[in-house]
Amino acid sequence: MMMARRRLARLITEALAPANVGSATFLLVAWHRTPTIAEALRWGLLTILFAIALPFSFILWGVRRRRFTDHHIRLREQRPVALVVGIASALVGLILIGVLGAPRELIALVVAMEVGLVISLAITLFWKMSIHVASVAGAIVILVLVFGPRFVVLAPLIALVGWARVELSDHTPMQIAVGAVIGTMVAAIVFELLR
């Protein structure tokens, strides 16, 4: 039973990891604000390249070089470098999509992500919060703001991811709660103000 629970927790952790959640959110927001699927893919994939793919490639490189424990970077002390790289890469992407005329909501989404990463970095310097939960909570708020209240049905995913992270002993309930609050507040305030 315990092994089955841990396997389920690992599956949830991987399926709803920040890179997956962020990529899906970028594509959905791009699709919502563009006239064709081709244009949505162009904006969404360009954003994913800088906001997700390049930072995640850096993390994988760090894992291979044994600078990071794994692609979730379990040790708090290892996280600041990866967060700084993520912030810098997303900033370059933000400038690029802004200059190229990306949809306003996509730009607002990247800014909200940047603010979330900066807050995460500040917290990570002295404490560990769940970035998994923050990203899921933020994504759900953004989907509700963009597509309407029907996306509230996704809210239980926040608790599910929180359970998985605690089950794997990667976070405490307090670290889960802080991640949920930060993700929700950043999305609700920054994204809503800029879109």
Q: What is the pLDDT of residues 56-75, one digit of tens each?
A: 999 999 999 999 999 999 99
Helix (H) or strand (E) holding 107: helix 104-124
The mean of the pLDDT values for the chain is 96
- Reported as a pLDDT band with limits 50, 70 and 90, residue 42 is very high
Is 80 exceeded by the pLDDT of residue 21?
yes
Task: Give mean pLDDT, residues 79-85.
Answer: 97
**Looking at residue 80, what is its pLDDT?**
96
Q: How far apart are CA 3 and CA 106, in angstroms?
A: 40
Kindly report the backbone phi and psi dihedral angles of residue 133, in degrees, each rounded to the nearest multiple of 5, phi listed first. Answer: -70, -40
Q: Report which DSSP code applies to 78.
A: G
Is 90 exceeded by the pLDDT of residue 24?
yes
Task: Give mean pLDDT, residues 94-122.
Answer: 97
**Looking at residue 1, what is its pLDDT?**
75
Q: How far apart are CA 60 and CA 67, in angstroms?
A: 10
Contacts of residue 192, defined as CB under 8 A and 6 or more positions apart, other chains included, come to 145
Give the distance from CA 103 to its chain's centroid. Answer: 20
Q: How far apart are CA 126 and CA 1, in angstroms?
A: 35
Task: Give mean pLDDT, residues 69-87.
Answer: 95
Query: Is residue 89 classed exposed, middle or buried when 0-12, 13-18 and 19+ CB atoms within 10 A define those classes?
Result: buried
**Looking at residue 61, what is its pLDDT?**
97
**Looking at residue 2, what is its pLDDT?**
80
**Looking at residue 35, what is its pLDDT?**
92
Task: Give mean pLDDT, residues 70-87.
Answer: 95
